[in-house]
Structure 1
């Protein structure tokens, strides 16, 4: 009948036994499900079917004041969030001839920045980040080219406005492409903010304040995260975030990057690559959650290439000295170890201190969806189902899951196939590869050295490692013994590789291939039996012979 209902799965619900006891006091019905209509017990499957066939169910609905009942659901699935995960789920669901709606709305940043359909990755994340990283690499390539015989006579200068225009034009084409793809698959797209107002119901509000109400059999929450602010005087008034930097209409000039996340280091890296004066202010450690040896080497490389670091300090006030594009700002910071304070002047302050889940203003409490009150994250089952059976969630808002775009895409596609295609395949959140696009790229898959020691014990892991020097860098004679490779092996499991780490050019391309091998249970012996391609950086993993435990030298004299 496609009538909105609430389903309580006793074996999946917190305090299910207690609820089962309460249910047994209400009814002696032995069949499942036990159906109630507006507090009136109908019975089990047989009784419900009989009531439908003889028309008494329809009468019961009307007797309970549902003369104005809206009828069938408006949609089979409503997705709140038009990022990579939400769009992937929408398109996959549409293949099963289901009626799908996508709600997507970008709340402008404090600086007024907003963007189109596609979510963080496309608009203010992976895509513009990689393009600006590439722009910085081209600057280095121009310097190297002179040593290879290219006569670059005129002084090379970077044009920020031209770059951002090109990047935003590409993003605009992607936004349009997503809208066309949804239209072709007959997915309804509404640029409006979605909020739950009751079981199976959402209210949408567009940028003109117009409200509408829709119903659906199921919902998917895929709202992602947005940058966090410091909560100090002047932060929202004068600072920008990664939501602003990629479309900034002017060159940021002398920049202070606050934070030690991968976003902070990536932005600092490409800004320095354009020749800007860049300082990174770090509260504690670099790249928390990543392998700390790799993080330290990234920081050292960035410092050697002119990026300044202020460690164990946090800003406590940002003041505007002079307005402009860019203007001038004064930053007052306090030590995390003492009462010492310092001041500095910058043209731009970029905050990259972390991100918060966009879950607190969705009306989730109205329909009983539990969230972690501290983090805003949503706990889900292995099927990405929340504690409310008809509501699912994917992406960065999940508690305890990897926060990466391809993970959300995979989870969205697999969820659609399970809900509507009869599949039982779950999203695998283990051994997910990733890359940090700092000037010296860092690719990883599997466990960090710290996590491997914690999981298996230091005596049960073997770490093989080596420095290497890319052949392309030998002619310009730069960065010898800066690129680094290591694998972490579980001794008790035939030296299976449980951690893969690479610091060097094209780390993402290299790591993607090895990630497939890790999925297949790659061992050190299999790596040793693999013949390398010469001369490429990735071949170093086929010749690793020195262990950390041995203390042997891993410095390379040449390529």
Structure 2
């Protein structure tokens, strides 16, 4: 299970040399410029008199940190950014861009897309394509192309930092006090201290190994998967999170035999009726679920496989797998930045930084955005928007704060799930069962009528409304093809106060899956079947 990632330090030196800078530790020059006064003459900008080296120092080079740094620089702030990726236990590391670009959304979606071809391989004949079946998949070629795209993105981010005159430190950063960070190289050697008026912490999360004996020696995580040159067959995926189910799904679609070990429920925090449908769909494709089970320890066999000891419903068991993928949760990377030195208050339950509605920590000049912030959605687009808004408040005179209500997302399992707003369970918890009306529909995409293997009981739409607010839509759930594309527009409508009446008045685009959300008229309370029997009901 090798990683083929390039050394980030060497790559940075190459980029900096090309544009004339000395290396990752040399600060980019600050360019002076003049502004034209109203009378047409030139007036030199006053010399910066801050007692600190920078106006803003961003710790973390992921999507949120980059967004904040670039926006602040655009607004005239003197900005620095520090980012360094500690290697995983099997040695995987990556370049600038954070989790989403390197080991999250981007490679996950690309491999999910590759898996779709595998899922439909046997179905193409039903559409008239006389193609061979059971064609083998070339994992190494796919990974090479995925990594090629990621490296283009890494390069682009570095060029953007240079273009915006943002000083980049390819170092670990940790607080000395509320206005100072210490920089250390990858060996832990101290490099120097740097001061700033303001700080933004955007260090994100990394996968947990759960403390199980042998986990770090025997298992791999999503930090490794997308750059591994090969993956053995007969894979055990441990965890019921969206990361576990998404990766299990495309691994199966790419020809691997997959087993999923689940402690309790699938997709905690998501609508549970939809989550159960996803599990049933994946079982129907041939994936095996071990339910009510938790690992005890891992060890390697003589032939390189993994011996897994686990407990299921009180009984201890042992199985041998070709490889074990661990997706049991993620840990906030706050310990390494030494928040206590600056007085930053951390939630002891999850090690995340406690922030107010304006993303400010307990220390007035230190802010936190993205996954590492307590109570925030762990989603790239919300981190990007929050980072941009924060920079505009700090340096652009804006008062606009991030709205975390009705943030849409999609789970890229073999049958995709898009949602926005509250789950049915959460809506009832907040508003009471008597004040929540739930509309739902099961449907079969037109294209699936080609495919005998595709049943019509899995694709599903659910609309959760608040009867106290004229049946305002407070939750919208879609299970079916192209879920992200379907949900994006509905999410905008929910931001505008979408009601069931407005949804009913909306003309759907026919024949599409998206139109099903405009035609749902069966309430759960009615007891009528949610199954569709034709185009119009």
TM over 0.5: yes
What is the distance in 2 between the residues matched to 1:481 and 1:292?
A: 16
Q: Is the aligned partner of 1:517 residue 2:493?
A: yes
Contact 2:122 2:133 in 1 (8 A): no
Contact 2:295 2:310 in 1 (8 A): yes
Q: Is the aligned partner of 1:504 residue 2:480?
A: yes
Residue number among 322, 325, 332 corresponding to 2:309 in the alignment: 332
Q: Is the aligned partner of 1:236 residue 2:216?
A: yes
Measured after TM superposition, the shift of residue 538 of structure 1 is 0.7
Secondary structure of the residue aligned to 1:215 is strand
Aligned to 2:333: 358
Aligned to 2:399: 424
Cα deviation, 1:151-177, whole Å, max 9, x if unaligned, reads 113641111101111101110110000
Measured after TM superposition, the shift of residue 185 of structure 1 is 0.7
Secondary structure of the residue aligned to 1:78 is strand
Aligned to 1:158: 137
Residue number among 227, 230, 251 corresponding to 2:231 in the alignment: 251
Contact 2:123 2:451 in 1 (8 A): yes
Aligned residues: 485
Secondary structure of the residue aligned to 1:532 is coil
User: Where in structure 2 are there 5+ consecutive unaligned residues?
Assistant: 1-48
Measured after TM superposition, the shift of residue 110 of structure 1 is 0.7
Contact 1:255 1:349 in 2 (8 A): yes
What is the distance in 2 between the residues matched to 1:535 and 1:149?
A: 21
Contact 2:178 2:343 in 1 (8 A): no
What is the distance in 2 between the residues matched to 1:303 and 1:153?
A: 25
Contact 1:192 1:205 in 2 (8 A): yes
Secondary structure of the residue aligned to 2:301 is strand
Q: Is the aligned partner of 1:371 residue 2:346?
A: yes
What is the distance in 1 between the residues matched to 2:284 and 2:487?
A: 25
Secondary structure of the residue aligned to 1:322 is coil
Measured after TM superposition, the shift of residue 541 of structure 1 is 1.2
Measured after TM superposition, the shift of residue 143 of structure 1 is 2.4
Measured after TM superposition, the shift of residue 232 of structure 1 is 1.6
Secondary structure of the residue aligned to 1:474 is helix
Measured after TM superposition, the shift of residue 142 of structure 1 is 2.9
The structure with the larger Rg is 1
Residue number among 516, 526, 530 corresponding to 1:554 in the alignment: 530
Cα deviation, 1:202-246, whole Å, max 9, x if unaligned, reads 111122535111100010000000001121211001100110111
Matches within 5 A, 1:388-403: 388-403=363-378
Measured after TM superposition, the shift of residue 344 of structure 1 is 1.0
Aligned to 2:42: none
What is the distance in 2 between the residues matched to 1:134 and 1:86?
A: 28
Residue number among 159, 165, 171 corresponding to 1:180 in the alignment: 159
Aligned to 2:433: 458
Q: Could you tell me the TM-score, scaled by structure 1's length?
A: 0.85
Matches within 5 A, 1:7-46: none
Secondary structure of the residue aligned to 2:336 is coil
Cα deviation, 1:20-45, whole Å, max 9, x if unaligned, reads xxxxxxxxxxxxxxxxxxxxxxxxxx
Contact 2:121 2:134 in 1 (8 A): no
What is the distance in 2 between the residues matched to 1:431 and 1:202?
A: 36
What is the distance in 2 between the residues matched to 1:322 and 1:257?
A: 21
Cα deviation, 1:69-101, whole Å, max 9, x if unaligned, reads x98311110000000000000110011111101
What is the distance in 2 between the residues matched to 1:193 and 1:106?
A: 8
CA gap of 1:460–1:203, structure 2 versus 1, over 3 A, is same
Contact 1:266 1:436 in 2 (8 A): yes
Q: Is the aligned partner of 1:542 residue 2:518?
A: yes
CA gap of 1:452–1:379, structure 2 versus 1, over 3 A, is same
Contact 2:238 2:326 in 1 (8 A): yes
Aligned to 1:530: 506
What is the distance in 1 between the residues matched to 2:413 and 2:257?
A: 16
Aligned to 1:120: 99
Aligned to 2:268: 288
What is the distance in 2 between the residues matched to 1:294 and 1:162?
A: 34
Q: Could you tell me the TM-score, scaled by structure 2's length?
A: 0.89
Residue number among 454, 457, 464 corresponding to 1:481 in the alignment: 457
What is the distance in 1 between the residues matched to 2:521 and 2:177?
A: 62
Aligned to 2:284: 304
Measured after TM superposition, the shift of residue 190 of structure 1 is 1.1
Aligned to 1:7: none
Aligned to 2:390: 415
Measured after TM superposition, the shift of residue 558 of structure 1 is 4.7
Secondary structure of the residue aligned to 2:401 is coil
Secondary structure of the residue aligned to 2:335 is coil
Aligned to 1:206: 185
